[in-house]
A and B are shown apart, each in its own frame.
Chain A
Amino acid sequence: MSETAKIILVVFQLLTVASALLVTFSPNILYASISLLFAFLGVAIMFLYAGADFLAGVQVVVYIGGVTILVLFAIMLTSWMYQIKLRDSRTKLIVPLLLALFGLLPFLYQGAQHLASRVLRTVPPDFDAFAFSPKTNAVGEALLGNYLLPFEGITVLLLGALVGAVWLARPK
């Protein structure tokens, strides 16, 4: 990868992290869901850089075209427009923050160590060759080969979810 490509990837990683922060801490739920859209976009770009081009497409179609729209729909249907109750009521933040610190600390420690030692301990298997190589064909073959049974299971699950969602949201 060239330097420019790397810089672009880092910019999108930063965008992902920043919008994830907004998702969690923005008091306005509408802003949270819009920044979730940008987080999805950043993750899609990261997939693209990791050689998962098909997955990046799926990410955009399913998350941005599906989940975000659904969430926006739900927000707009449940909060009446002229009396906006979008704000989230504050709760104590200390417990989740502690939880988060416990989750994050080991990783931060390891990352810092890694940066400090400045040693690339394991060289990844031909990094650049894998980076932008198309993987759509391979994904398709794997889905109809090794992973046929889980694939069928997923379809049944989707059907169940579809019927269940319709049944739950049916008018009284």
Chain B
Amino acid sequence: MVGACSAFAVLPLSQYLMGADVNIGIFFILAISTLVAPGILLGSWSSNNKWSLLGGLRGAAQIVSYEIPVALSILPVVLISGTLQIGNIVEQQGWAPGAENAAAYHFWNVFHNPFCFVASILLFIGGLAETNRIPFDLPEAESELVSGFNTEFSGMRFGLYALGEFAEIFVMSGMLTALYLGGWHIPFLNLESLFIKLPTGLIAIIQLGMFSIKTLSLVFVVMWLRWTLPRLRVDQLMGMCWKGLVPLALINLFGTAVWMWVFNGRSLMQLIFGVAGH
């Protein structure tokens, strides 16, 4: 719960609205989100209940192992933008045709290169698993474990767990938005260089709206998956992480590095519109 809340501090709501642009922004989110695992483990242990304990063990193992593909699919973005600061990363994704200083800005990181597209999908899957959402909600599988680590909790304590989980979904979606989906930017439009000069407050509100729309649509996809997909088995889950996601994420990382080297750091959009490299 604490982890999920304090991660909100570094999410970039808009160019002018941001809690704290920490130097190691993404790394901070990663670090904070691992704090959830001991909470789940201890909650399950203190229930003194076999099923709860099993759920907690599953949850902790799942969070720890999916941390790796998540971190590996964040790395391409770091490679592209050369900074860990979320504000800067979002800044670089604003690109509109005809903007001045076009070499410094590329389009959304999803479309930077094919590897980034795959990496963003991996990040989404990893985020689903880390927040224990449905295709991966083994820690609280109703049909096997009653309700997992929060079986024995009720009232405000259960409320804290549930609230923490949902807050984490928002954080994960916000992170995906900021890293890959261009954060507060409206595609192909630069609010700063319109023919009318907009007041700063209005720009901030529009950007906040854009960020919220992107984040909330990701949250909607998460909820949507909940009613669509069946639950996996534990061994399938772990097998998918270690045999599927981790090698793919490594290939993505390597591919992005090669792309940056071959095309001199230009994104797909910049190549299409013929922008010179850095």
Residues of A within 8 A of B (CB): 30, 34, 37, 53-54, 57, 60-61, 64-66, 68-69, 72-73, 76, 81, 134, 136
Contacts and interface: CB of A to CB of B under 8 A. Distances in A.
A113 B17 CA distance: 50
Contacts of A68: 38
- Nearest 7 Cβ contacts at the A-B interface: A65-B34, A60-B31, A134-B23, A57-B27, A57-B31, A61-B31, A72-B41
A34 B41 CA distance: 11
A64 B84 CA distance: 21
Given A76-B45, A81-B50, A136 B84 contact: yes
Contacts of A34: 38, 42
Given A37-B38, A65-B64, A72-B60, A57 B45 contact: no
Nearest to B56: A76
Interface string B38-50: 1001100100101
Contacts of B84: 136
Interface of B: 23-24, 27-28, 30-32, 34-35, 37-38, 41-42, 45, 48, 50, 53, 57, 60-61, 64, 67, 84
A35 B69 CA distance: 29
Contact of B28 (A57, A66, A69): A57
A121 to B, nearest CB: 33
Per DSSP, chain A at the interface is helix
10 contacts: A60-B32, A61-B27, A61-B31, A64-B38, A65-B31, A65-B35, A65-B64, A72-B45, A73-B57, A76-B45
A30 B45 contact: yes
A54 B48 contact: no
Contacts, number: 61
B24 A64 contact: no
A30 B31 CA distance: 23
A37 B64 CA distance: 16
A136 to B, nearest CB: 6
Contacts of A57: 24, 27-28, 30-31
Contact of B24 (A37, A72, A73, A136): A136
A37 B37 CA distance: 12
Contacts of A37: 38
B45 A64 contact: no
A65 B23 contact: no
A34 B43 CA distance: 12
A54 B31 CA distance: 11
Contacts of B53: 76, 81
Contact of A69 (B38, B48, B50): B38
Contacts of B42: 34, 72
Contacts of B31: 57, 60-61, 64-65
Contact of B23 (A30, A66, A136): A136
Given A34-B42, A61-B34, A64-B31, 17 more contacts: A54-B27, A57-B24, A57-B27, A60-B31, A61-B31, A61-B67, A64-B34, A64-B38, A65-B35, A65-B64, A66-B64, A69-B64, A72-B38, A72-B45, A73-B41, A73-B60, A76-B57
A56 B28 CA distance: 9
Contacts of B41: 69, 72-73, 76
A68 B35 CA distance: 10
A76 B42 CA distance: 10
A60 B2 CA distance: 14
B172 to A, nearest CB: 16
A60 B34 CA distance: 8
A65 B57 contact: no
Task: With a 10 A CB-CB cut-off, give which of B31, B35, B45 has the most chain A CB atoms.
Answer: B31
B45 to A, nearest CB: 6
